[in-house]
Chain A
Amino acid sequence: MEVLKKENIAVWDRISVKTHDTVIEGILLPRSAGDDSHLVLKMITGYNIGVRFDHVISIDQIGTKKANYKIPEKEFPFDEAKPNVTILGTGGTIASRLDYRTGAVIPAFTPGELFGAVPELADIANINTKKLFGVFSENMGPNQWKVLAESIRKEIEEGVTGVCIGHGTDTMHYTAAILSFMVQGSPVPIVCVGSQRSSDRPSSDAARTLIGSVNTAAYSDVAEVMVCMYGTTSDKFCYLHRGTRVRKMHSSYRNTFKTLGDIPLGKVEDGNFTYFKPDYKKRREDREVTIYPHFEERVAMLYYYPNMDPDILESMIDNGYKGIVIAGTGLGHVNKPLYDPIQRAHEEGIHMFMAVQTLYGYTQMFVYDTGRDLMARGVVPLGNMLPEVAYCKLGWVLGQVQDPEAVNKMMTTPITHEITPREPYNGFVQGQGGLDVVEDFLKEFS
């Protein structure tokens, strides 16, 4: 470090570094991690290497280059005959390009940038983009959800054919769920889309998910909140998942999103739709939509595990939470030591609901004593509502009503498939890899 200061050398300078056994030329890169005992050079070949400061004999500056990048925009071609789709940006990058010099990923988001990155979009629709905020997926929360809901209303009222929401994938199913409650009776498709492989990779899924979602927004007949992501790990088609039944199920696979306890709404492949379920809300020509942008933030989710200490729940009570979704074991259970704090929470007016951590299947709290004991202490079962969906819905409900009976009624009355009356046999796929028949199927399917 000292030597850099002494020679007045700054990041992005072209330098020549002499060590005791070699001379290396390259561009001085900024240090990303905490280690400051090495300087990092990008050599002419494009490779990066690290050189220990105490191996450096001398450094000479050869030149400097300013880092100044902008994606040259191409104008997005407007075609009056084509539908208009708005893409709302939340911060997750769908399309991007690399700065090869720094390795930084530069998002492409304006219509011009998107057109440059995925020119096929121009064959589908006229695209307008609005960057609402720039947060990572994990930092999405009630404030962003409310803004999104309001923005969707505005777009609908202004006459768009469909809305896409560019979103990081980690919490996309939370956003899809809350928007299913906040935006009701939309006349157009609302499609959440992201990518599992960033678009700086030749193997990225971004272009295909983007094309799929814009197609869906522009031409699909489904006027619901959906997630449009890969259906298999092959570059083949995207599934359209219902916002209240979808969940990210793998930390890195492309086809990470699954519809749980049911089958997806349909699929989109090269602009062709196949609908698996006929019970969707149809697209309308009117511009009427109702927005309920409410959320009570003192809501928590408690993921039960064996031997859970009651003090966890105690502290939730002490910290003034107003609603708790418990993800219980099996049909919806927790251990006896939690009974007392649950009782206390109930007495203090905290709204408690039970979802299942098995993710598939319904709560059934009449079968065993435990279930009955919990219900006696005010815990209300939520059927096959997914725990994350239950969290979103509880926050949304408590943002509007507080009366226990009203809260319970709203929670247990499905608005848009968050609780389904029946689970079809193919809502929970039985097979596991290993069986010949499943392996044969996998070969076919991928």
Chain B
Amino acid sequence: MDDKEFEAIGFKCGLEIHQQLQTDRKLFCRCPPIYRNDPAHYEIVRHMRPTLSEMGTYDGTALMEFKTRKNITYQFFRDTTCSYELDDTPPFEMDEKALEISMIIAKAMKCALVDEVHVSRKQYLDGSIPTGFQRTAIISLGGFVPWKDGRNIDIRQISLEEDACREMSDKGHEIVFRTDRLSIPLIEVVTEPNAKNPTEAGELAEVLGWVMRSTQLVRRGPGATRQDVNVSVEGGRRVEIKGVPFIDWIPPITAGEAIRQHNLLKIRSLLQDRGLDLTSMDIEEFKTMKSQDVTDLFDGRQIEIFDSWFEGPVSTDKGLDIKAVLIPGFNELFSHPTHGDQTFSDEVSGRLRVICCLDRMPNLFTSDDIPFGGITEDDMKEIGKRLGASEDDAYILIGGPKEDTKYGVQEIYIRSREAIEGIPNETRQVLTPDITTFERILPGPDRMYPDTDRPPIVVTKEILDRVNKQIPVPWWEQKEDLLSAGVPEPVAHKLVVSRWLPIHEHALVKGAEKRFSAIFVMEGLKHLDRSGLDVDSIPVEAVAESIAMASTGKITIRALPKVLMEVSKTGRGPSEMIEELGLSPIDEDQARSAIDDLVKGHVDLLGLFKDGRTGPLMGILMDSIGDRINGSKVFGMVQGSIDS
């Protein structure tokens, strides 16, 4: 499908961009915001328990997740995490710098700041946050960023929140989180669904990324920016895909989701044509559900898809079993394609993996499948018979620990029933650039409540003054300015969001020419950085001063890298280094006499020069005085001296 076709099926996409902020500490404790890759010093084990909902009951799925019970291990470091991350100490005051940065970004996106910041708790039962909720606060509402063709990217809201833990592993009932990332400050920028096709969805992320980076106050590097995309098609439902790792992946992943929704809607109408409705499947007490333990049928035989559990012949005494569940009216639907190479059975499979911990793949066998790996035609007939399946029905087989398969058959039933409604309310995770899989049931709006641990923060005039002083010139205006100074488009484009932009800005203040500085910062510095000069270790002022000197002829361009190398090595100022190394430019008379002396000593090379092989002589001349006078001038002078 191309962009036009996506527009035709009513594609809509908005983003939630999560961007870590460049601060000295975490949002609610005084720990440094750094990642650790060495072995953890300390571990604890917790369980998340669903809390009572507004109605005083438990959400069914939440309770099911609880029953299947994950052991959550948290990892700690004695020097960079504290008892706040352990959830054994209440939050400290919110990091002021993070608050300021979030407001600067909000202002850069033309948002209206709130007058008073209230911290709320957003519940997460997946264990990614030891408290079971994320502390988050609205910073601003309704803004926009100019985009293209007179269109804006509309910003719905911006919030400041603490990052969650890093997931280290998730196997069966054991999930491990590292708390180093927990409470690193980040902002969440939520856009309206402005993208009308997958290509535009990618553009949205790119443009907003530029705006945030142009503040120079955000963290960079792997995981510092993460985007969630919300996709829907006409008649579908907003589905959130969490943590798309690269902007390049946004177009294919949103396209994939649109196709998936399109196909789930097709399945829905097929089911409606077959006369199925929600009342035919009870998911409160599963009274209508037909399922059976069929372990005995396979007893003593090795079955490929269950071998990851049984590790040998199937037997009834290992605490494991194989269960079959009937899904009436679903014949040939589990093999219906959804997106990429996925079929409807993968929808069910994802649920079993996440919710029921049946994570040894493949984790199911459907009646649409061709018998393989030890399962025979006769087995299939027998199971159909035991379940009382008719030709219109389908069934699914699963194997694993008895407790897990018990909830497994229920989950299969629940997910199948949801097909009658169409598209379930869930978040999805990225599997490949164009395929997603189930992540979790989308929690309701009920999951937000006020954080009573900290009082609200009044946005005072002092805070506003500090914020207003730091709002960056919008990147699109900066870029226009560079282009009109003759800076090539690719350079201007990269510079406005480069972390070296301050070098450029300082160089201008010190008298550098705009075009020269821009090109040197983006091309020259990058080259030097790659060949071993640690640009970021040199004070911005010193780099800027060196560039300004080269731009204004106080040193030659050829001498500039040398100056920077020496400044970096010695930590001394550029002027001092120029003096010490004798790099200040010489005038033409001084150059001429130096050339004359050198030429006399290399009469043989002069002959070559005259024959057009200018290299050898020029090499010697440039080594000697090239750092102090422009090379083309040297060339002209040699030619002049030959002519005379």
Query: Which residues of A approach B to under 8 Å, CB–CB?
Result: 19, 21-22, 24, 33, 35, 38, 40, 43-52, 55, 70-72, 97-101, 103, 108, 116-117, 197, 199-204, 207, 232-236, 250, 252-254, 433, 439, 442-443, 446
Contact = CB atoms under 8 A, between A and B. Distances in A.
Given A22-B141, A45-B445, A253 B83 contact: yes
A203 B131 contact: yes
B87 to A, nearest CB: 5
A51 B116 CA distance: 6
A360 B610 CA distance: 98
A51 B114 contact: yes
A48 B114 CA distance: 10
B367 to A, nearest CB: 36
A136 to B, nearest CB: 15
12 contacts: A24-B141, A35-B456, A45-B445, A49-B117, A49-B138, A50-B118, A71-B52, A72-B55, A72-B57, A100-B447, A203-B87, A204-B51
A263 B51 CA distance: 34
A233 B42 CA distance: 12
B132 A446 contact: no
Contact of A203 (B48, B89, B114, B449): B48
A243 to B, nearest CB: 24
Contact of B120 (A24, A46, A233, A250): A46
Interface residues of B, number: 56
A71 B116 contact: no
Given A50-B115, A51-B114, A71 B44 contact: no
Contacts of B46: 203, 234-235
Contact of B88 (A199, A254, A443): A254
B586 interface: no
A446 B76 CA distance: 12
B450 A48 contact: yes
Contact of B44 (A47, A103, A202, A233): A233
Contacts of A443: 41-43
Interface in B130-149: 130-133, 136-138, 141-142
B50 A202 contact: yes
A101 B446 CA distance: 8
B279 interface: no
B45 interface: yes
A161 to B, nearest CB: 26
B458 interface: yes
Given A35-B458, A116-B56, A201 B116 contact: no
A314 to B, nearest CB: 39
Nearest to B446: A100
Contact of B114 (A50, A100, A235): A50
Given A22-B141, A38-B115, A253-B88, A117 B52 contact: yes
A446 B46 CA distance: 10
A50 B54 contact: no
Contacts of B118: 40, 47-50
Contacts of B142: 22
B83 A252 contact: yes
B94 interface: no
B445 A202 contact: no
Contacts of B90: 252
Interface string B37-67: 0000111111111111111110000000000
Contact of A232 (B44, B448, B452, B455): B44
A446 B141 contact: no
Nearest to A48: B118
Contacts of A433: 78
Given A52-B116, A203-B87, 19 more contacts: A35-B458, A48-B450, A49-B115, A49-B116, A49-B117, A49-B138, A50-B116, A72-B56, A97-B53, A101-B54, A108-B52, A197-B87, A201-B131, A202-B48, A203-B49, A207-B49, A252-B90, A253-B88, A253-B89
B540 interface: no
Contacts of B446: 46, 100
Contact of B445 (A46, A51, A98): A46
Closest CB pairs A-B (n = 7): A50-B116, A46-B448, A202-B132, A97-B52, A103-B450, A48-B118, A52-B115
Interface string B62-103: 000000000000000010000100111110000000000000
Nearest to B45: A234
Nearest to B125: A202
A100 B44 contact: no
A51 B138 CA distance: 12
B448 A45 contact: yes
B51 A46 contact: no
B57 A116 contact: yes
B62 to A, nearest CB: 9
B88 A252 contact: yes
B157 A45 contact: yes
Contacts of B131: 201-203
Contacts of B363: none
Given A38-B116, A234-B46, A203 B132 contact: yes
Contacts of B471: none
Counting chain A CB atoms within 10 Å of each CB, which of B49, B136, B448 scores highest? B49
Given A50-B116, A253-B88, A439-B41, A100 B49 contact: no
A202 B48 CA distance: 5
A347 to B, nearest CB: 48
A241 B124 CA distance: 33
B269 to A, nearest CB: 31
Q: Which has the most chain A C-beta neighbours within 10 Å: B123, B137, B449, B455?
A: B449
B364 interface: no
Contacts of A45: 157, 445, 448
B155 to A, nearest CB: 11
Given A72-B55, A203-B87, A446 B43 contact: yes
A201 B447 CA distance: 11
Contacts of A253: 83, 88-89
Contacts of B197: none
A201 B451 CA distance: 11
Contacts of B452: 103
Contact of A200 (B51, B88, B112, B455): B51
Given A19-B112, A252-B89, A442 B42 contact: yes
B159 interface: yes
A154 B117 CA distance: 51
B117 to A, nearest CB: 7
Contact of A47 (B57, B115, B116, B120): B120
Interface in B436-456: 445-450, 452, 455-456
Nearest to B62: A202
Contacts of A70: 56
A98 B448 contact: no
Contacts of B159: 47
A98 B112 contact: no
B474 to A, nearest CB: 18
Contacts of A50: 114-118, 456, 458
Contacts of B112: 19, 21-22
Given A46-B447, A443-B42, A201 B86 contact: no
A202 B52 contact: no
Contacts of B45: 234-236, 446
Nearest to B46: A235
Nearest to B447: A46
